[in-house]
Amino acid sequence: MATTSFLASTAIFFISLSVVSLLPSAHSADFSVGYKESAVPKSDLDLLEFPLNLEYLEAEFFLFGALGYGLDKVDPSLAEGGPSPIGGKKANLDTLTSDIILQFAYQEVGHLKAIKKTVKGFPRPQLDLSASMFAKVIDKAFGKPLNPPFDPYANSINFLIASYLIPYVGLTGYVGANPKLQGAISKRLVAGLLGVESGQDAVIRALLYEHATDDVSPYQLVAADFAERISGLRNTLGRSGWKDEGLVVPVEYGAEGKIIGNVLAGDKFSVAFARTPEEILRIVYGSGNESIPGGFFPKGGNGNIAKSYLHTAKLY
């Protein structure tokens, strides 16, 4: 067990180094200097604002999990008067997991600031972070209700499984947005956000991979089962084919078709998958339809892209 923990810690260390090495020097492109909405092409504005929905979700979930409170206490100005999240609470985390999740939380606060320094942004949408909401997602993933209902805040492994739900969706959105962007500032922002979101997802997957064959109490299921079912659900809801993979995959889906271990998800060339805003809304709403809100966003997302589909829903 000690050897496994050492290997997982080493993997996380090198993943972090790799992600950092991909980002430009802070001296050459500090986001606090010279980034103005007027410098961003109009065609980029909606694509840059849309991810705020996911960044709000991640920031609030990680803040509540680590601290027991969210943006309303950490930085109320970022919420811009948006409604407080439903059901968020402090998770019962071990020391290492708590440390990592707190780092993620403040990284997400930084992401919100970076986007809002570049475009106008919008207020925090209504978010549902309740244990019952996560339980519904997990039940849907398994096609049956778990007994007792899944509680993301109960312990570290549950919280990591719940965390598996979130950053990966955001990073596929950034991959999808990047080729559509026109401005250099827009591309720099998305590249920087993608680097850190990918790092977060890699850490979550590495920690879960360490426990891939461990039982998730009190269910007769292991961590890899949860990852596989969650990824399958996201593929189904996204309605755009195979863009999500669990921690263990059939060998033909592994890197170079040679391995079943899958600590990082990617296509046949080990390149990250891309998703559109429409696919992301279908997933985070839990409805499989970008015009039908629900899930983590009971009243729908904010911003022009998300609201355009809510408007469509009201017309029919």
Identify the band that residue 39 occupies on the pLDDT scale cut at 50, 70 and 90: confident
Torsion sign over Cα 13, 54, 298, 286: negative
* Distance of alpha carbon 138 from alpha carbon 161, whole angstroms: 10
User: What does the pLDDT read at residue 197?
Assistant: 97
Q: Mean of the pLDDT values across residues 166-173?
A: 94
| Distance (Å, whole) CA 178 – CA 188 | 9
pLDDT tens digits along 103-142 = 999 999 999 999 999 999 999 999 999 999 999 999 999 9
- Mean per-residue pLDDT of the chain: 90
Q: Token match 């990617």: residue?
A: 266
Confidence grade of residue 30 (pLDDT, cut at 50, 70, 90): low
Whose CA is closest to 78, among 96, 66, 60?
A: 60
pLDDT value of residue 311: 73
Q: How far, in Å, CA of 265 to CA of 284, rounded? A: 19
Alpha-carbon distance of 246 to 235, in angstroms, equals 11
User: Residue 266 has what pLDDT?
Assistant: 95
Asked whether 236 and 288 are in contact (CB, 8 A), the reply is yes
| Section 278-298 average pLDDT | 98
End-to-end CA distance of the chain: 57
**Would you place residue 36 in the very low, low, confident or very high pLDDT band (cuts 50, 70, 90)?**
low
**16, pLDDT greater than 70:** no
Least confident of 17-26, 187-196, 233-242: 17-26
Band (7; pLDDT cuts 50, 70, 90)? very low
In 3-state terms, what secondary structure has residue 12? helix
Q: Please check whether residue 177 is in contact with residue 190, taking contact to mean a CB–CB distance below 8 angstroms.
A: yes
Decide if 160 contacts 91 (C-beta within 8 A).
no
Three-class DSSP category at 86: strand
Tokens standing for residue 206: 């590495």
